[in-house]
Amino acid sequence: MSGSNTLPARGRWGDRLFQGVALGFALLVLVLLASIILMLLIKAMPAFEAFGIGFLWSAEWNPVTHQYGALIAVVGTLVSSLIAIAIAVPVSFGIALFITMLAPQWLRRPVVTAIELLAAIPSIIYGMWGLFYFAPWFADTMQPWMTTYLGAIPYIGALFQGPPIGISVMTAGIVLAIMIIPFIASVMRDVFEVVPKALTESAFAMGATTWEVAWKVVLPYTRTGVIGGVMLGLGRALGETMAVTFVIGNAHNLSLGLFEPGTTIASTLANEFNEAGGLQLSSLIALGLVLFMVTFVVLGLSKLMLLRLGAQEGKRT
């Protein structure tokens, strides 16, 4: 291509300038990320110096005696997010499937708009709704039912114990699920829509049911996108602050029961940052660093999962 030579000098400069500016913006992200990590590391140092690496698995959190550990908050974060994912993924799959394959044309737009509206609701609204409407309803209906029937099952029964208040790790997980469903469902719908008509139509032509087409044709074809959507939802669930703070009970205790109050990293930060000083402040920042790492590991694992899936595909063909 010798066309660029014919451009006036100013055009070439403009191009270079544009390149430079774009590069600058890209680098800015990296610089920001690096400086955030650096700041977290520096400010978290006193906590790690005081408690060592044991900070990560100590279940102590006592502002009076200045003993701090991350375990309870990390467990609460992971458990509430896992509950959210366990509920949100099947529901989102159903929503996306309905919109792309089953819904009559006139119904699609309203459903899609409703989901997009759900995504736009601020998280504090979810928190207040969770505290004032969902938690009481859950405490009076769902929770007694779950404790009676699921609580009687050996081993996993212990998970469904706790006071019938409706403010618990389980409630937080369910509210989180409602919050991330729009994100996961939107991504799933987008990727389901790009499945070539030829693939689905030929499956139907061979006598496949709608379920078989969805499960054996659409899902394998869109696997990468679907996992990406799930990770997007998980990332949001891990870092959600206000909604969780309202309904989780904010108690630093470690318990097997999902109906017991708990806490997450983000809600601990939201609760205690204002009044904290000294070692407590440093421990809170260390918690933030831990959340950073947890999110990083989760994203890393999803990338790894995608790579392995890709490798298997290579073998099969």
Q: Token pair of 166, please?
A: 């409706």
In degrees rounded to 5, what are phi and psi of residue 243? -60, -40
- The least CB distance from residue 135 to other proteins, in Å, is 7
- Residue with Cβ nearer other proteins (182 or 288): 288
Asked if 188 and 92 touch (Cβ cutoff 8 Å), the reply is yes
Buried b or exposed e, range 261-284, using 16+ CB within 10 angstroms: bbbbbbbbbeebeeebeebbbbbb
Measured CA to CA, the distance from residue 128 to residue 246 in angstroms comes to 7
- The least CB distance from residue 243 to other proteins, in Å, is 12
Distance of CA 243 to the CA centre of its chain: 13
- Residue with Cβ nearer other proteins (88 or 266): 266
SS3 assignment for 103-135:
CCHHHHHHHHHHHHHHHHCCHHHHHHHHHHHHH
- Residue with Cβ nearer other proteins (240 or 272): 272
Backbone angle region of 207, left / alpha / beta, with phi > 0 → left and psi within -120 to 50 → alpha: left
- Residue with Cβ nearer other proteins (44 or 244): 244
- Residue with Cβ nearer other proteins (41 or 165): 165
- Residue with Cβ nearer other proteins (217 or 240): 240
- The least CB distance from residue 18 to other proteins, in Å, is 20
Map tokens 């509430």 to a residue.
Answer: 80
Helix (H) or strand (E) holding 229, with range, is helix 223-239
Binding residues for other proteins, per CB under 8 A? 60-65, 131-132, 135-136, 163, 165, 167, 245-246, 249-252, 261, 263, 267, 270-272, 274-277, 280
Q: Token pair of 212, please?
A: 């078989």
Measured CA to CA, the distance from residue 241 to residue 248 in angstroms comes to 11
- Residue with Cβ nearer other proteins (62 or 148): 62
Asked if 53 and 45 touch (Cβ cutoff 8 Å), the reply is no
- The least CB distance from residue 86 to other proteins, in Å, is 24
- The least CB distance from residue 66 to other proteins, in Å, is 10
- The least CB distance from residue 289 to other proteins, in Å, is 20
Measured CA to CA, the distance from residue 57 to residue 60 in angstroms comes to 9
Residue 90 CB: number of other CB atoms within 10 A? 10
- Residues 112, 116, 119, 122, CA torsion sign: negative
- Residue with Cβ nearer other proteins (47 or 135): 135
- The least CB distance from residue 257 to other proteins, in Å, is 14
- The least CB distance from residue 99 to other proteins, in Å, is 37
